[in-house]
Structure 1
Amino acid sequence: MAKRSIQVSSQALKHVRQAFARKGWTQEDLAVEVGLRTRQPVGRFLAGKPVERRIFIELCFQLDLNWEEIANPIKGEGAEQIENVRNNGWEIDTLVEQVRSLYRDKIQEQCGTLRLLDIARRVGVDNIYIDVNILEEITSQRWLEISDLVQGFNPDADEFDRFGLSRVRQARVLGLEAVESYPKLMVLGKPGSGKTTFLKYVAIQCNKGEFQGYRIPIFIRLKNFAEDASDEGSFSLVNYISQELGSCGVSEAIVETLLLQGKALILLDGLDEVQHPNSEEVLKQIRRFSQKYYKNQLIISCRIAAQFPRLPGFTEVEIADLNPEQIESFSKKWFVEVGRSSPPEGLATANRFLEKLKRPENKQIRELAVTPILLNLTCLVFAMKGEFPSKRSNLYEQGLDILLVKRDEAKGIKRNEVYRNLSLPHKIKLLTQVAAITFEQGYYFFEQNKIQQLIADYLRTLPDSQSDPETLRLDSEAVLKSIESQYGLLVERARQIYSFSHLTFQEYLTARQFVASSNPQALEHLVNHVGEKRWREVFLLATGMLRNADHLLQLMKQKIDAIAASDDKVQELLRCINKKTLSVEYIQQPAAIRAFYFSLACAFDHSLASTLSIGPVSFSFPTVPFFPLPLYLCLAQAIDGDVGMDDDFAYALDFFLNRDASGLNNTDALDRAINRVLDCAIDFALALDSDRARELRRSLQQLKAELPNPDKGLQRFKTWWQAQGQTWTELLSAAIVEHNNASYDWQFSNQQKHLLRQYYDANKLLVDCLNSDCEVTPAVRSHIEDTLLLPIAAIEKLNSL
């Protein structure tokens, strides 16, 4: 498109020169202010000679002149249309509609689709977009102490909420509502949080007339603007916008009119992607544009923690992590749109994905899926096999690769290096070292000076490193901000308080540090934490990463046995349990039976026994309040496949546990269910100890005789149960315990109870590691399983054979 020129009218030339003199600038100074490489256009302007139209307007702006008043009259269609608009204000709406129609196809082509990582084809923005939630208070700018962030945060608790690390306790508003509220908006977010998608969605909604349809959406990727302007040797955001619209037949005069009238919705994407040599000029252009064309709506996206000066007049907001409802919405759209399935098939796959994602064993994966970029990865991995990977470390490694490398590669971004000696491998090594040190010290949140010290310690180990403390301090701060803004792996949770963006990554990098360590004692050091619940995921990841996990698993087993060996009463319990197990007839899985009796003695749940038992368990027994009968029935089914659990049986069991007869409405079903539960308990007692079975049978039959006959009326039974049900259930429990050699009433001290819980959890961890698809030889696996929950004397005897 030919560039039009304007010149100062002869009548205004004296006035222009006086304005220039008042500024006290040289021609070179004015050229710099306008963004010109040379002063020649300034000289032509002051001499009354023609200069490019957009330069003419910029020069007038800098000299506080009204360009329309001092320019020679503009001839042509554009000028006539401007004059018509000036004289008839209502025609501006007609002009907007004309430009929208000319520009509609281009904005649709620019913003209608997007490319998801590792997906071969582009997908429609409307088909994948989910409503964005905005935080109006930037999390990193909150004045909080670490004690405020860790309130109610207990990683050793069973109910430990891993999402507490990233939970933001403040109100959220919808993204479009924020755009409506703030005419100049800076949208900040972590890498992959959906900033570009949000801006594209806003552009498409405007293009369709469903959001601010009275404006013209203009989407500009700032990286492209900076590169194009640098190549041309002249930065001008106005000129760039004019060229954008000019490619669709819109004249510069019309563009100028629309901008002055505030009829544009300007979407500037990726401020953080602009390279350092151009960033200052881009910021200057945005500032000038927003001040001159202040009536327009401006939205800028930028990674959080990117170090740019604040733009005057802009309100900063932050994109929040996805909540469960957004995760569900995105997943359903993903499996329909990306999975290339019919809508019913895609939704069915999405529902399977969501059901598995909600399972307790997948809470670490669920924690990752709170940003669109990592949720996309999670969906992609699931779509390949219909399952999550058995080795979660592979998924986490892919997640790190996306944040560290793939995302920038896909967008063609080459980041400025803030520290010349810190290559990507060094950054990964630095992160693993920081993760391992902070995790071992029990720090999930750490002050900025603490993490900067860890970074400085690492920088000292690099070739040609600085030794000056102040230089190291500045370098470590620059590295910290770089890792935060470029990769999003470290996040400022409040002012000068940091954590890893996901606890999962801190655990993964910690495990990686132990596995990759050149120190032969590293694994011995790791197993010192086998009794600590918060280290559970680190052990699972480490065993999965090792080429052969034999040595680590054997070290874990030795450490776990040492826990039990530290107390004589615990050893006595294990001897009694082993003796009881050896008396069981038809024994197929001794470790499972030992785990079962251990659970009875300690009033623990039956999860370890279920994990070790043969055959599936079709009914999930509640564990609180503790009731021994479910443990009997669970193991009975595992040992004897003929002991089935039909609906009546399960229903009656729930009835006994909850003591609630309100739902009973069938006397025959009730009678069958009660007989089924009691007969199963008797049969199982026979299998375990035939000598004592007669006494147990007698006790159970006596209890059964105390029940009202359901044939005489269901209401009569319900009334009796509400009055006597709790007492009857307690007598049933006591009868079973009385006739069981492995009674759980051992009267342990609080310290011994803690030791038993630690020992039980550590054994459960060991079994889970064995079953985690790690590389372990059959001999080591067999030996560990054979010696689980045995007293030290029995283990030593087996080892000597």
Structure 2
Amino acid sequence: MSLNQKAKLDIIHDIPSEDILRDDLLVPIFYEMEEFVDIRVTHGNTELGKDVVLVSKDSFGDYVYTAIIIKNKKITNAVKPDKNREATSEIINQIVLTNNSGYDCKIQQKHVDFNKIIVITSQDVSHTAIAQINDCAKKHGNINIITKEDKDIVELVDKYLPYYFETTNGRLSHYLYALKKKCEKLNELVNISIYKGDVKDLLDVFVAPKLYRVEETNTPKGVQPKPIFGVLDRIIFEKRNILLVAGPGAGKSTTIRAQVQKLISTNSRGKVINVPIIVKAKNFLNYLRENMTGSINRFINDEYGISDFNFESYLKNTNYRVFFFIDGLDEIRLIEDRELIRNKIGNFAKENSEVKIVLASREIDDLEMFDTKTFNRWELLPFEYKQVERFISRWFYNRSEEILAVLKDHELLEKLPKTPLVLTLLAILYDDDRTVEVPANLSELYQMFIDLLVGRWSLDRRDNFEKPNIVEDVLMEIAKVLHESDRTSLSQDELENLIVTYSENLDFKLNYTEFFRNLVEQTSLLIINDKKEVEFRHLSFQEYLVAKRYSDEVDPIILDQLKIKFLDDWWSQIVYFYCGIKHRNDKLLIDLIEITKHTPLIPSIKSIWNYGYLVQASYLTPIKIRENCIAQELEIYSNKSIDYIDGVVENVEVPPAFAVLSLVHFFKLHYSTKFMIDCYKRIFEEAEKNVDDNFKDSLKILLIASILAHLGYHDYLLKIYDLIKKFPLLLIALDFEISLYTSSHAEKGKSISELKRVSKKIKNHIMVNSGLYRSYFELKKKAIEETAITTENNEN
């Protein structure tokens, strides 16, 4: 609830000392005003009357010097000062001393006079005192003197430090205000010069993605897995820390930024104050050589210009609730750097259990290194259609129905990932040109967006810019250099050397300064980050441009290198974009099957997941080849899954039930596409005809049925019960898939009733054999080899 003027004045009046007024409130305000090139606190034995000196520049570039005299008492014409009043005579003496002493300017390296003197107090100034101060100014050569009192401070706080009235902590308010400003604009739109619509605040268009995890639950019928859904706004107040995992452009960073804004905006006076800290892992890494609190203090000082920020004062303090967000773990390439982050975060979490830690990352090999006892792993799910509708309606207002009709007519939501970044790109494209061509896959969408940014569509705004082909080629070269050196940013000197060398190799003249300015301002694909280095606006643009560069190569060695790099998390998205650019990838898809077959367990499983996206992107590859490739990968995956479930490989410590649930979930997620439904039906029919009474064949049947159910053909879940009922682990997974489907479909009918009947059979079997099923939720080896009690007598 907002405070009235009297309540705000009371807060200002209650400031206990002049030092706190100066250091904790006024100096942060001066910094937030962004008008001064230098701010110096001069209070002390050698202050010579002034407490703070502000240096600014006028419109002609000349320096302007302002002296600040700060008081925490009423200023009156009293003869003698007391604990509540400051005598005007004392103020006048201080003004005269300030005016006569001047200032030794560090910038100009000379002694200067003050252009004006401001007397500011947290109380009020009597009319008589003001008159006496003005008389003093006239007697001493018309000194430019300004008096500010309590109501003026309230006005300054409202404008520059609005969170002070909630926190009564100037440095914290300064930080929260700076953080909110940094988070509130959509990164995808800020400074994109071709964007013609209104720049939206993040919360104007933000739609919270659903989060998902699996939880072991005890029921009267035994231990069962339960799908848990949530949104970050709620789960962030649960006990455990959060590991947020999703693919490129799924909205990890946007979700975090939106959550930070919500935490700040819900702060209110008299309640526990939320203190969110947000860092990019790659930027924060350089600060981690000292203890965590020191690292955060130094980071905030460098990032927001807030000196003496005392992070430790908010820890274990019941007046504050600290949230620590660390984004982009996947951008840390070196194993030893990831290990450093893991150790630092792990130790910090143990020592400060009251702090909620949120880690965000793409899927990488060593995410399991974070302790599952203190971190819950949550997956960001793609948008459902209703969420897409909300996003479009918030973006386009009156045009939302028109845009949704286009998306439906061209089946764009079936062809492209339903992620915030993809929807944002589509929104910008359609805001710029309502007749935009419809992309067939994600690579085509990125190419259309880059075409727009480099000027292929909007030549009217590029009279002085280079040809689009040259601009795109330079961007591809920058992306290639960065990615091949395992980096996401480079210094401006490095960029200059790269571009100059590029132009010399092509033998054309180029004004680097002008080219660089246009490259950043016109294309908006490159940004200057907080370290003053150059990076791509989003890592996926870097990945796409590397793929584009590789797709232009004719050397077969390049393709062979890509095949091997597909197993590397840093390169897998590039191979995906490459397939989307080439459209037809017969040889690549076939060759990758052999690679995944002979790869160690964990990398192989992950590469098979990503392979599903490659097949979808390669839409001009003959369907028979794609179908055969999926069938072969399904066979390999089923074999590999047995080792994973049984835990026979070192460092794999996952209870069998959770192992099989994860294996089914991620395979389904990566292979589901409406455009291959007939293909999956044929694969199912073939598998059904050739199924043997073994775990591997039964798992294959379950995997394909789960994909078809996810695509709307839930009757396939009914078909497989009799084929897999011998294997309790697969029954757990089948029941889970049925629960997922029935919980998200409210309609009633014969098929839903049949699904519930099958689920009841499985639950009865679990209840009768609760000890066996409970054991599947514990770490154990060779779980598949156990013989389950037959279900025949437990189905009713």
TM-score, normalization: structure 2?
A: 0.37
Larger Rg: 1
Higher relative contact order (CA 8 A, sep 6+): 1
More helix by share: 1
TM-score, normalization: structure 1?
A: 0.37
